[in-house]
């Protein structure tokens, strides 16, 4: 029996002995179909898209505040350039971490990060939109 490591899963493969022109040769058996990588889950992709959309909505409503109103988060600052840099930078970092969690098998944690970010940005966008 030979062992082969595939994506952190150890699979035992039986060696099949076949006769080829009078000699014996070992050929590995094909891995079972269950080990093939499945396509990405639809809910994970939806969480990613909604997260990016909520960042865009938050920035859009922040930039369209009535005169006299400014961004209250000191991390984001007052300039549009700094707001884009911080929002997009942290958004990409969150997407990267969720992707790593998803690939390591922590699907619930990956979705939780994305949905939590979506909730915060959506709440900020909704707050900005209600200011008159």
Query: Does the pLDDT value for residue 100 go beyond 60?
Result: yes
65 and 27, same structural domain? no
- pLDDT tens, position by position, 21-53: 555 556 566 655 555 555 567 888 889 999 999
Same domain for 28 and 71?
Answer: no
Q: Is residue 120 domain-shared with residue 67, that is, in the same domain?
A: yes
| Judgement on whether residues 108 and 54 belong to the same structural domain of the protein | yes
User: Phi-psi bin for 36: left (phi > 0), alpha (psi -120 to 50), beta?
Assistant: beta
Mean pLDDT of all residues belonging to the chain: 80
> Is the pLDDT reported for residue 8 higher than 60?
no
- Of 78 and 96, which is predicted with more confidence? 96
Do residues 13 and 48 share a domain? no
- Mean of pLDDT values over 64-71: 88
Above 50 in pLDDT, residue 54?
Answer: yes
Confirm if 97 and 112 have CB atoms less than 8 A apart: no
Domain range for 28: 2-35
Report CA torsion sign: 48, 113, 78, 125.
positive
Average pLDDT over residues 88-105: 94
Q: What percent of the chain has pLDDT over 70?
A: 70
Q: How confident is the model at residue 1 (pLDDT cuts 50, 70, 90)?
A: very low
Q: Is the pLDDT of residue 97 over 80?
A: yes
Task: Confirm if 95 and 128 have CB atoms less than 8 A apart.
Answer: no
Q: Domain tally for the chain?
A: 2
Residues 95 and 58 in one domain: yes
Q: Are residues 26 and 64 in the same domain?
A: no
């Amino acid at each position: 029996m030979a062992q082969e490591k595939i994506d952190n899963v150890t699979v035992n493969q039986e060696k099949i002995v076949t006769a080829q022109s009078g000699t014996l040769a070992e050929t590995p058996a094909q891995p079972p179909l269950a080990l093939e990588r499945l396509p990405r889950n639809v809910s994970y992709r939806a969480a990613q898209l909604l997260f990016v959309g909520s960042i865009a909505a938050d920035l859009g409503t922040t930039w369209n505040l009535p005169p006299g109103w400014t961004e209250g988060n000191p991390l984001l600052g007052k300039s549009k350039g700094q707001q884009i840099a911080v929002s997009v930078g942290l958004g990409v970092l969150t997407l990267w971490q969720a992707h790593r969690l998803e690939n390591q098998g922590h699907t619930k944690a990956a979705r939780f990060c994305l949905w939590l970010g979506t909730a915060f940005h959506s709440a900020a966008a909704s707050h900005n939109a209600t200011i008159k």
